[in-house]
Structure 1
Amino acid sequence: MINFKLRESQLKDGRVSLFLDYYPPIINPKTGKSTRREFLKLYYNKKTKDPFEKQKNEIIKAAAEKLRLERYNRLLTGSFEEGSFFAQEESFLDFFKMESKKRATSDGNYNTWKSSYSYFSRFTNNRCKFKDITEKLCRDFKTYLEKTTTLKSEMNKLSANSKHMYYNKFKAAINEAYLQGLISKKFTLRIQSPKAENPFREFLEEDEIKRLMETPCEVDTIKRAALFCIVTGLRVSDVFPLKWSSYSYDSINKHTLRLKSAKMGEFIYHPISEQAFKLMGKIGGKNDQVFRGLKYSANNNKLLERWLHLAGIKKKITWHNFRHTYAVIVIEKHGIYAGKEMLHHKNLKTTEIYSHMKIGQRVKIANSIII
């Protein structure tokens, strides 16, 4: 158990600094070093004879004692965490914004994080310190999302899926702050996210894939990477940084990839076809990027959009829709359990959102019903 006392330190300028003395030492998450002292930034003049200064000294001491009692109460209730008080006066909004930028691996994920940050910033009037984060604030933000209008128009309410996604990103930011020791607990743990609707996930039909293969792209690397996503089902966050060190070949398993998934944080073993291997291009050094120079950017997204347009595809297709396409093909040919394994999902429910039946198959079934 952590014990602490209110102590004083005499400064050279004659003032007395008040601080809390911890035992055993606690870890400062910013420096990574252990310390026994948390300076309260409260000072008083011990040698003054002025009655008003003496009265002021008593007020300052009372404020320090209040902070000590607050720490003690948190210790008793189990909400005290080592280092959690170092960040109290720092901006949670700045932290949230930085976490959003770290997710710039795909357009959909980054835009969702950015929007979540924007709504939370608007909700808090652009001011929120770590010490302001409470369970009540987190619940109030959920209520705010359920009632607010979109950033673009005051006439439109947020969709059910937008509320769900924005709140989940906020929860992820809260959890990350907790893991880094910047707040004392996971304040969103007991709060259920707004309910989402099951959206239709767009995918490409066989004729559309064929048109893409036949249509030249301004940057061949983009074309090869897109088709590679379709025939492997890998997330774009794993395809863009893919290195040749992840590739291996043997006479039994043929072409395989062993890599650490950026989203799951786990190593996956993923067999790929001969066609997928050819799309990777010429074998390079172990540390060479397979799709050299390819990264998530607005310019590359524009090039992808123009290529799809040239192929006559009018659907709104992003990089992640290529994974959807792979999922639909695998599930239709081999079943939903095969889809779960090939998509590396932990739960079957996640795989079920991809279980769309192709148009041709639906037409065939519809025409088979004759009375």
Structure 2
Amino acid sequence: MKAQTKEPVRLRQKMLSNGNISLYLDIYYEGRRKYDFLKLYLIPEKTSKDKERNKETLSLANAIKAQRIVEIQSNAHGFIDTKKCERLNFIEYMKSEVERYRSKGSIMYAQSVLNTTHFLVAYAGDKIAFKQVNKSFLLGYIQYLNTAKGRGGKYLASSSKSTYFQAVVTALNRAVKEEIIDKNPAHLIMREDRPISDKKSREFLTYEELKKLIATPCESDIVKRSFLFSCFCGLRLSDIKALEWSNIENLDDGTGQLKLVQKKTGEPIYLPLSQNAVSQLPAKLDDGKVFHMPTTWKVEDILNKWAKSAGIDKHVTYHVSRHTHATLLLTFGADIYTVSKLLGHTNIQTTQIYAKIVDDKKRHAVSLIPNI
């Protein structure tokens, strides 16, 4: 007599205190057991409608059970190539992701993935197979990010840790779609165990603070000029570093126009340059870069010292210039649609954040009037 094959998935029931019956799957495969609670319930059968409802619930539970069995058998019969999973190097896959994003024009995200790859190698070396990237590996990677240092020898900011973890999650999601792995192990990690970026308010400079900065000497003339230039046109640091004289035209009357493709979005923008912006351009020494900038961490260090010298008690990063440009435009009467276009936003909701900042400033100003 032929031995009966044991089912890897069984539908089981659990009586609840309220009289309902919870349905769940008992899954036992390759020596491992887990329970899948379906959030489906049988109710006491008091009427014919109750019986009909329970019949439909059981039918749905059995359909899910059948689907789980098919998934297990598909894996067992090689539809997910487990040898490929063992053979493929995860670091090489991450590097290919960098090139894929670069080819799409997503330069900023490609840089984030490249930074992520650097920390993965520092954590576990460059010989990481996909099969090694499990829940335990990812939890260890999170712990490593908590102690890792970035450029300038400083511990990683919460936003950086969140970005470097999420880049791994995104790559693993793509690997699932490419059938390299059958599931993303990051989905097993609880939200509270993941790196979470702090939600910080958008720092900006007021008109008076900007005048203070202009009047205060800075240890680097090129950093000062580039920062003030961005305050008057809204360019990101990545675009400032890439800006060439060929991107700027019509400088004859003290104003001008700037055209370039944004590094972050890959979108072209055309910006009119005010006299304030043009006045911050350095002397043209050649036809190459407009601003020959130091490293990013050095720029940030110079900006902080400069702001303190000006008596400004704010954490000034380069991106503050972009926030300053947006809030100044809205404060002095520009409409939100125009500001959105000038900033090169692809979604006007991003611009509305600045409009809320300006509204809050107005409310605060009104509240300064004492009760009469």
TM superposition score normalised by structure 2: 0.56
Note the alpha carbon deviations across 1:23-43, whole angstroms, 9 max, x for none.
Answer: xxxxxxxxxxxxxxxxxxxxx
Contact conserved, 2:165 with 2:195, CA < 8 A, in 1?
yes
Q: Which residue of 2 aligns with 1:343?
A: 343
Cα deviation, 1:308-339, whole Å, max 9, x if unaligned, reads: 22111221111111111112222333243333
The reply on whether 1:267 has 2:268 as its aligned counterpart is yes
Match of 2:30 in 1: none
1:203 Cα deviation from its structure 2 partner: 1.0
Q: Give 1:288's aligned residue.
A: 288
Output the CA distance in 2 between the equivalents of 1:358 and 1:222. 31
Tell me how far apart the structure 2 counterparts of residues 188 and 196 of structure 1 sit (CA, whole Å).
Answer: 21
Name the structure where helix makes up a greater proportion of residues. Answer: 2
Partner of 2:324: 325
1:73 aligns with 2:79: yes
Residue in 1 aligned with 2:366? 365
Aligned to 2:259: 258
Task: Provide, for residues 66-117 of structure 1, a one-character-per-residue CA deviation record: whole Å limited to 9, x for no partner.
Answer: xxx9997259xxx9xxxx9897146359849989xx9xx99xx989985896
Counterpart position of 1:352: 352
Matched residues in 2 for 1:313 and 1:367: separation? 22
Is contact 1:130–1:183 with CA below 8 Å preserved after alignment? Answer: no
How far has the Cα of 1:255 moved from its partner?
Answer: 1.3
1:170 to 165, 168, 171: 168
Q: Which moved more, 1:85-94 or 1:244-253?
A: 85-94
Return closer, same or farther for 1:257/1:242 CA change in 2, 3 Å cut-off. same
The total of aligned residue pairs comes to 278
- Return the offset for 1:364: 2.2
C-alpha distance in 1 between matches for 2:273 and 2:174 = 34
AA at the equivalent of 1:311: A
Q: Classify the secondary structure of the residue corresponding to 2:258.
A: strand
AA in 2 matched with 1:324: H
Aligned-partner Cα distance in 2 for 1:188–1:244: 48
Post-superposition shift, 1:129? 2.7
User: In the superposition, relative to structure 1, how do residues 303 and 356 fare at CA in structure 2: closer, same or farther (>3 Å)?
Assistant: same
- SS of 2:322 mapped into structure 1: helix
Q: Relative to 1, partners in 2 of residues 1:344 and 1:222: Cα closer, same or farther, differing over 3 Å?
A: same
Q: CA RMSD in A?
A: 5.2
Counterpart-to-counterpart distance in 1, 2:313 and 2:187: 43
Unmatched 5+ stretches in structure 1? 1-68, 153-157
Q: What are the ranges of 5 or more consecutive residues in structure 2 without an aligned counterpart?
A: 1-74, 149-155
CA distance in 2, matches of 1:309, 1:177: 48
**1:73 partner SS:** coil
Q: Percent identity of the aligned residues?
A: 26
Does structure 1 retain, via aligned residues, the 8 Å contact 2:94–2:113? no
Residue 161 of structure 1 deviates from its aligned partner by 5.8
CA distance in 2, matches of 1:351, 1:321: 15
Structure 1 equivalent of residue 48 of structure 2: none
Given residue 91 of structure 1, which amino acid in structure 2 is its aligned partner? I
Return the alpha-carbon distance in structure 2 between the equivalents of residues 178 and 265 of structure 1.
27
Cα distance in 1, alignment partners of residues 223 and 238 from structure 2: 14
Report what 1:226 is aligned to: 227
Distance 1:151 1:189, change over 3 A: closer
Does structure 1 retain, via aligned residues, the 8 Å contact 2:256–2:273?
A: yes
